Structure 1
């Protein structure tokens, strides 16, 4: 790093600190004034406070803008290697066109339909599509049970029996 960059970096650190110190000195001089006549000393003290605040704001915004600029234009793009993580698959799902060709037309009635009454209206429910399998030759288990779940008291008795045993 050359000397010029180091000096600019030092200036970016010193300007807010110097502004704070000048503001404090100006506030101290204002507090010493017992007679608030607008003499040259009072005006210069208030000017010192304003100048110090401006230095603090300038230093802070200078630091923020410099850090944003350095993050936007980071050097070393040639040496930097971008790592991309991918998933290797042995088989892929069918394409959109293939999946649309295998589906029956919307006019044809589905093979398996169950009529359910919901709020007084008959609703036709088809079976769910088959489960995903890793190998297309493997037939998924499509058993479906319309059995009602057990009552809460039955489950509670079974759980209490397991705890007692």
Structure 2
């Protein structure tokens, strides 16, 4: 799959709840770089954090995936940065599983400045990660188990 970042907001609205998750985080001093804004690597860590929280919410944490015989391994990240996040900012991080085909899945992420009223704030960044499903013992690619697809609302695939 060649990744390009689609309009993540349209994707978010049209997907079932089981395929999406969000967290609101606060920028802390350790998140900042020498320019006093959130370091690029922190955005990626936040994306991984919301993805893990989503997987745990659906009962598909690492232990469950290992038991099923397939774990996702990142193949490619594409991040577009729009505005910097600063110390004390609240950031809403959303993820949505947008595609699944064979041994690959794609997660989209949006990172927005959180607002008091819960409405969309300024877009800080967008990200997509392509994941490849692999056998945790052999490391060889394998299809995601049916239980995983069902847990995340990919029924009928």
Scaled to the shorter chain, the TM-score interval is under 0.3
Q: Compare relative contact order (CA 8 Å, sep 6+) and give the higher one, 1 or 2.
A: 2
Instruction: Find the structure with the greater CA-based Rg.
Output: 1
TM-score (norm 1): 0.19
TM-score (norm 2): 0.19
Determine which structure has the larger helix proportion and give its number.
Answer: 1
